[in-house]
Amino acid sequence: MALFGKPKYTIVRIKKKEIPDGLWTKCEECGQPIYNKTLDENFKVCPKCNYHFVLGAWERINLLIDQGTFQEYDKQMSTVDPLEFRGPKSYTEKLTQDQELTGLIEAAITGEGLLDNKRIIFGVTDSRFIMGSMGSVVGEKITRAIERATELKLPLVIVSGSGGGARMQEGMFSLMQMAKTSVALSLYHQANLPYISVLTNPTMAGVMASFAGLGDIIIAEPRALIGFTGPRVIEQTIKQKLPEGFQRSEFLLEHGFIDMIVHRKNLKSILSQLLIYLS
């Protein structure tokens, strides 16, 4: 009979709809998947746990400087290889790789612009470029920006995102940048001009031990890692367990190392208020 000759079930094959890549980002802190549009609208901050994602140098500039007002200094200044450093990769190869990855020539961008219509000198380091470490060009660009702020008698704001210290590939040429930037800031302070330092995750080593730690007011983003040597190295050295949250913004605020912690979405308005007070 035809009735019994028919298959009991009809199998329908549905082609799985492919989801395009690049629509979601997984939070590095809580693991929550975040729609990229939502993440961008929230200033690259996780809406669930408040984790602040790393921002690139130009993202920082667009966040803080009034649109269309930024004028970059020393744009074409690039690094050479004074020691002809060799490792798994040559220094030149590493520079080329990070230039292609970030679209930057070096780990720092400096210039001037308006922040809520207030003219300032602005600098930012980018941890995506050799961990934001301070080679001779980074130190020179920061120093020239400080000197320009002194000359023009303008407020200075530097946003530091540097997980690396002095750049080992440049040896003493790199180490001397700590002293050079600090001396420039000393002369700037003598002119009674305001310098606001903003510390982001991470700000470590030679950058923290020089210009990043010398602000008249030091601001940090929430849970930013800030210090000289990383906590694991310290624990291995002293053979002791460090306190909970050691070297995070909240720990440092409690112990008087920084002045305030500011959420990224409020950073521009807080900087604007501080510039009014300090002027």
* Helices 267-278, 57-64: crossing angle, 10 deg rounding: 60
Inter-CA distances, 25 with 2, 29, 35, 55, 218, Å: 55, 12, 6, 14, 30
- Tell me which amino acid residue 41 is: E
Each residue of 137-146: pLDDT tens digit? 999 999 999 9
| Cis peptide bond N-terminal to 243, omega within 30 | no
CA gyration radius, the chain: 23
Average pLDDT on 122-140 reads 89
Closest CA to 218 of 162, 274, 268: 274
- Mean pLDDT is highest, among 163-172, 224-233, 249-258, for 249-258
**Confidence category of residue 30, pLDDT binned at 50, 70, 90:** confident
Q: Percent of the chain beyond pLDDT 70?
A: 92
Q: How confident is the model at residue 53 (pLDDT cuts 50, 70, 90)?
A: confident
Q: How far is CA 37 from CA 40, 63, 232, in A?
A: 5, 16, 35
pLDDT reported for residue 36: 85
Give the 3-state secondary structure of residue 9: coil
SS3 content of the chain, % helix, strand, coil (to 5): 40, 20, 40
Half-sphere exposure of 197 (CA within 13 A, CB side): 24
The per-residue pLDDT for 14 is 52
Average pLDDT of the residues in 257-275: 93
CA 212 to chain CA centroid, Å, is 12
> pLDDT over 90 for what percent of the chain?
41
Mean pLDDT of 249-255: 90
Is the pLDDT at 9 greater than 60, yes or no?
no
- Model confidence pLDDT, tens digit, residues 153-173: 999 999 998 877 788 888 888
What number is the average pLDDT over the span 38-53?
85
Global confidence as pTM: 0.84
Structural domains present in the chain = 19-53 (no CATH), 54-278 (3.90.226.10)
Distance (Å) of CA 117 to CA 113, 124, 270: 9, 19, 14
Between 163 and 133, the more confident residue is: 133
Which stretches of 132-232 are assigned E, i.e. beta strand?
A: 156-162, 195-204, 217-220, 226-227
Q: Give residue 26's pLDDT.
A: 86
| pLDDT classification of 51: cutoffs 50, 70, 90 | confident
Q: pLDDT higher for 2 or 128?
A: 128
pLDDT at 10: 57
CA 103, CA 135: separation in Å to the nearest integer? 18
Give the residue from 94, 105, 163, 157 showing the smallest Cα distance to 134. Answer: 163
Residue 193 confidence (pLDDT): 95
* Beta bridge partner(s), residue 112: 71, 121
